[in-house]
Amino acid sequence: MTQPFNFEQALKDLQAGKNLTGKDSILGPLIKQLTEAALQAELEQHLAHDEQPNRKNGKTAKTIKHPSGSFELDTPRDRNGSFEPQLIKKNQTTLTDEIDRKVLSMFSMGMSYRDINQ
């Protein structure tokens, strides 16, 4: 399981001069965690509206390339294989910087991680 994003450590890293975005950035782990939470929510919504008997069937790791480097993303899957994620589609290996902009805008509006995650 992925470690939760540590805001205190992120603030220390930022004060120490670590980059907010880019390779080995402060936001990299947060982007990963939010992306995994969003994919999980997509699967739960899919299962709630699926007319066929279906259920969760674990996760598959895939490497995602991102402006902040690359990371292993745990993508959820369903038993029937009918789940088609929208945020990161099947066979997609790159993540656009659009998610960075969305996360930054949510934080700039004063939203907490808990608010964003819900």
Task: Encode pLDDT of 46-79 as tens digits.
Answer: 999 888 899 999 999 999 887 767 788 999 999 9
- The reply to whether 1 falls in a domain is no
- The reply to whether 60 falls in a domain is yes
Residue-range definition of the domain harbouring residue 79: 7-117
Residue 89's SS3 state is: coil
Q: Quick one: pLDDT band at residue 103, thresholds 50, 70, 90?
A: low
Alpha helices in the chain (DSSP H): 7-15, 28-49, 98-108, 113-117
Structural domain count, the chain? 1
List, for residues 6-47, the tens digit of each pLDDT value: 888 888 988 898 887 777 778 778 888 888 988 999 999 999
User: Which pLDDT does position 107 carry in this prediction?
Assistant: 67
List, for residues 78-94, the tens digit of each pLDDT value: 999 999 998 888 888 88
- The reply to whether 25 falls in a domain is yes
pTM here? 0.72
Q: Judge whether residue 117 has pLDDT over 80.
A: no
- The reply to whether 2 falls in a domain is no
Burial of 111 from C-beta contacts in 10 A (0-12 / 13-18 / 19+):
middle
